[in-house]
Amino acid sequence: MFGILRPCRHSLPGDLATQWMSHLCGLCLALRDEHGQTARVATNYDGLVVSALAAAQTTPGSSTRTAGPCPLRGMRSAQVADGAGARLAASVSLLLAAAKVDDHVADGDGVYGRTPVRGAARRLARRWAEDARASGRRLGFDAQALLAAADRQTTVEEALGPGDDLLAATAPTEEATGEAFAHTALLAGRPGNEAPLREAGRLFGRVAHLLDAVEDQAADRARGAWNPITATGTDITRVRQLCDDAVLGVRLALAEAEFTDGRLVHALLVHELDRAVRRVFAASGHGDEHPHCSARHPGPRTGTPHEDDRHDTRDKPVDQGGWCCTTPRAERPPRRRGLWAGCAVALFMTCTGQVCCRDPYPGPWRGEPREACCSSCGDCVPDCGCDSFGDCCKACGRCDCDCCPCDC
């Protein structure tokens, strides 16, 4: 899985973690049903937003289905996103994956530079693009517009040089993501949301493109590969300003759209997008904050990290030098298994790497959450301002966030 949005379980309070997992699993299953088992490797966190947007504009729970046991859920069933939104997300994700494979082939990255692999990768990317176009057509979505934007990217890049506008390089990506976001309004029967969601998608695409360039700049410079920041000679401070302005633009655009339940969308496209910008710039040596902390106004706090979070009553771990996960924990009641069934599940989870890499993973006998042995990634800091939604008013100084449960 890939993408710039990587929410942690502490940053999705209440039922948002369950919703996030529902869309992630729904996207994965839609890829399987529409395009075959191999296509499931195209599952990514950014494409998931399309499914979340479609669901946020419809009646809650109207487009879900029961999914069977899965290794990443500890062989348990779950309610997952279904319907046109999940299928559109699958189509977009497949297009993103195809474009990413093409980009690796063009740059000769790693094994993609070898002749046999290069040929196979090109055929796979071509097939994925054709499949995505066909599935998009069934949804009334013109995937050709996204493909045309991807094809235009190479032409745009070849024309850029020192002193040129960096945003010329992001324009094709902005156009593609804008169309995908806007189509969710048509699927949900809310044409009034089309314009603001197109703007939100356009700016989201800008951020995604720029962050990818920032992450790759050092490696691209070392191997002489093309990078939009280096090619245009844009100062990194200007790049950061463009990203911050785009994050604000996304928030303002979402405020103009009407949602049935926009909490998850707001959490992903406002809070998590801001977190992604801070993480990437800090990790690249261009930030003065913790790479995974997205506090706008950090200040002295008292007690435990979430002591005064009045509206999020889940048990929270004590900060012991940083904790996080890449998959939010979905709250579900534990399910007991017998001795032999539990042993079989324990063996399966060990062989599939869940005991090591899935955090938290459900206990094989009682289903209680357990900490993975490789979970000390330190991806984020709990003392993190707005990401703790209960402290949103305190951190932001105002109460205009959809996600804020505060009553100030």
**More confident position, 102 or 26:** 26
Write out pLDDT tens, residues 77-107: 888 988 899 999 999 888 888 888 887 787 7
23 and 141 in one domain? yes
What's the confidence (pLDDT) of residue 318? 32
Residue 296 lies in a domain: no
Q: Averaged over 216-242, what is the pLDDT?
A: 91
Q: Does 308 reside within a domain?
A: no
- End-of-domain residue from the set 240, 262, 283: 283
Q: Is the pLDDT of residue 217 over 60?
A: yes
Q: Tell me whether residue 271 is in a domain.
A: yes
The CA distance from 203 to 252, in Å, is 11
Report d(CA 118, CA 111) in Å as an integer.
Answer: 8
Which pLDDT score, from 0 to 100, does residue 105 have? 81
Residues 277, 357 within the same domain: no
Q: Per the domain annotation, does 127 fall within a domain?
A: yes
Strand partners, 79: 66
Considering 61-75, 327-341, 363-377, the range whose residues carry the highest mean pLDDT is 61-75
Minimal CA–CA distance to 128: which of 43, 25, 250, 234? 43
User: What is the per-residue pLDDT for 13?
Assistant: 77
Does any domain span residue 288?
A: no
Q: Is the pLDDT of residue 382 over 60?
A: no
Domain identity same for 202 and 349? no
Residue 328 lies in a domain: no
Q: For 377-395, what is the mean pLDDT?
A: 41
Helix (H) / strand (E) containing 169: helix 167-187
pLDDT of residue 294: 39
What pLDDT shows up at residue 394?
39
Residue 91 forms part of a structural domain: yes
* pLDDT at residue 214 greater than cutoff 90: yes
CATH number at residue 18: 1.10.600.10
In the chain the first and final C-alpha atoms are separated, in Å, by 39
Residue 103's pLDDT is 77
Do 140 and 272 have their domain in common? Answer: yes
Q: Are residues 47 and 139 in the same domain?
A: yes
Q: How far apart are CA 356 and CA 338, in angstroms?
A: 23
The answer on pLDDT for 395 being more than 70 is: no
**Same domain for 364 and 240?**
no
Q: Among the residues of 224-353, which ranges form H helices?
A: 228-232, 236-256, 263-266, 273-283, 339-351
Cα–Cα distance for residue pair 227/161, rounded to 1 Å: 11
Higher pLDDT, 175 or 362: 175
Given a contact cutoff of 8 angstroms between Cβ atoms, the answer to whether 54 and 88 are in contact is yes
How far apart are the C-alpha atoms of 39 and 31, rounded to whole Å? 6
Q: Flag the least confident range among 8-17, 120-129, 274-283.
A: 8-17
With CA atoms as reference, report the closest residue to 98 among 48, 51, 25, 151. Answer: 151
Q: Cis omega before residue 300 (within 30°)? A: no
pLDDT band at 300 (very low <50, low <70, confident <90, very high): very low
Residue 40 confidence (pLDDT): 87
Q: Are residues 33 and 179 in the same domain?
A: yes
Q: Are residues 278 and 354 in the same domain?
A: no
Confidence bin at 322 (pLDDT 50/70/90): very low
Number of domains in the chain: 2
Q: Are residues 59 and 142 in the same domain?
A: yes
Q: Are residues 347 and 238 in the same domain?
A: no
Same-domain pairing of 268 and 368 = no
Last residue of a domain, one of 234, 258, 283: 283
Residue 321 belongs to some domain of the structure: no
Q: What is the mean pLDDT of residues 231-257?
A: 95
pLDDT tier at 76, thresholds 50, 70, 90: confident
- Amino acid identity for residue 125 in this structure: A
State what percent of residues in the chain have pLDDT above 90.
30
**Which residues constitute the domain of residue 213?**
9-283
Q: pLDDT at position 407, please? A: 38
- Read off the pLDDT band of 21 (50, 70, 90): confident
What does the pLDDT read at residue 57? 93
- 114 lies in the same domain as 181: yes
Check pLDDT > 70 for residue 405.
no
